[in-house]
Structure 1
């Protein structure tokens, strides 16, 4: 379903503003290309980090192996994940931030969240479950309730489920070693995450 078929004029106007944003243009190696999806009927919010290289090239969020892993973690199909009427995908930084010296992605541009995030989230009244992917999203949404490390914040996941928020690591294959060191994430967190997401999508 096309994104603009499932939103109010207010949200459509706001998203047009987001996609026209050029505030960080002078700091970026590539031209700005905000990548996100949203509608005011969405029931699940995926709060990620920033688009990766493939997401930037294709204009589709999580269009890479990490997206495959994330969809598996959430227990959703590709069609469900990219159905804007059901799923909002809103990273902390809307544009690909470029690569660091080691070939990894740079942190998301801070100006994105400061300029756009609160206004955008306030226009999504039907969110039932929020998936906080990685430390940047967790720090913004949880503020002082984050722990000293991502591992500790994810270990404390039960503290946030009463608010229907789930703390998870980034699904990058770079975190495969983390998953092996922390098997409780797959055995304890993922079944509850899948149950919550499925309940939100089918409610």
Structure 2
């Protein structure tokens, strides 16, 4: 057996073990006030590692990542790919700063994802996934990887994470409409480049 085969097999078994640990995680149960429901999708061979904020209430209830208005905009308008292509675990590894829905904030919207989740799990996931590119979604994910930098700039730049191309997107949530109105060039120009890169990597 080749060394590359050993590494790949190790990644597969290691990721399965890690997923089992994540699914059993209850670190935030007392914080949330409800039963956590960790959301995971993807294999060690996934071509694109997408890292966002945290699952929405809809995702929490259905167990399907980006099964909401944000996901429909992301797949249909930005990536322009089918549900089958998006949910193919060998295409996308769908990660987030928190694996569970964090609940509603007192002032509206969802709570910020607990930092303990990304510290506990995200970097371990990244070690075990042999992706080609990274896509970060939202300011919280952007801040984690590029502290001190604003998403208003990052969304228009090509960056790298672990030596691999990284693209930063604003969150596609309907609550983020003001951002899109303030920066129309993102939808008019930048989305097309990211769309082409997604299609290139997926071979479509």
- Give, in angstroms, the shift of residue 26 of structure 1: 1.1
Within-5 A mapping of 1:31-50: 31-50=35-54
Note the alpha carbon deviations across 1:14-66, whole angstroms, 9 max, x for none. 10001110111111122111112120110011101000000000001111111
Checking the alignment, whether the CA contact within 8 Å between 1:44 and 1:129 is kept in structure 2 is yes
- Give, in angstroms, the shift of residue 86 of structure 1: 1.2
Name the SS for the 1:122 alignment partner.
helix
Runs of 4+ in structure 1 displaced over 4 angstroms?
159-162
Match of residue 7 from structure 2: none
Checking the alignment, whether the CA contact within 8 Å between 2:159 and 2:167 is kept in structure 1 is no
Segment drifting more, 173-182 vs 83-92: 173-182
- Give, in angstroms, the shift of residue 102 of structure 1: 2.2
**Distance in 2 separating the partners of 1:163 and 1:187:** 25
Alignment TM-score, normalising by the size of structure 2: 0.88
User: RMSD value over aligned CA atoms?
Assistant: 1.8
1:98 lines up with 2:99 in the alignment: no
Alignment TM-score, normalising by the size of structure 1: 0.88
Within-5 A mapping of 1:46-57: 46-57=50-61
- 5+ long unaligned stretches in structure 2: 1-10
**Distance in 2 separating the partners of 1:31 and 1:64:** 21
Segment drifting more, 161-170 vs 19-28: 161-170
Match of residue 4 from structure 1: none
- 5+ long unaligned stretches in structure 1: 1-6
Aligned length in residues: 192
**Distance in 1 separating the partners of 2:141 and 2:189:** 21
Higher strand content, 1 or 2:
2
- Give, in angstroms, the shift of residue 196 of structure 1: 0.8
Within-5 A mapping of 1:84-163: 84-125=89-130, 127-143=131-147, 146-147=148-149, 149-155=150-156, 157-160=157-160, 163=164
Checking the alignment, whether the CA contact within 8 Å between 2:96 and 2:122 is kept in structure 1 is no
Checking the alignment, whether the CA contact within 8 Å between 1:36 and 1:90 is kept in structure 2 is yes
Match of residue 175 from structure 1: 176
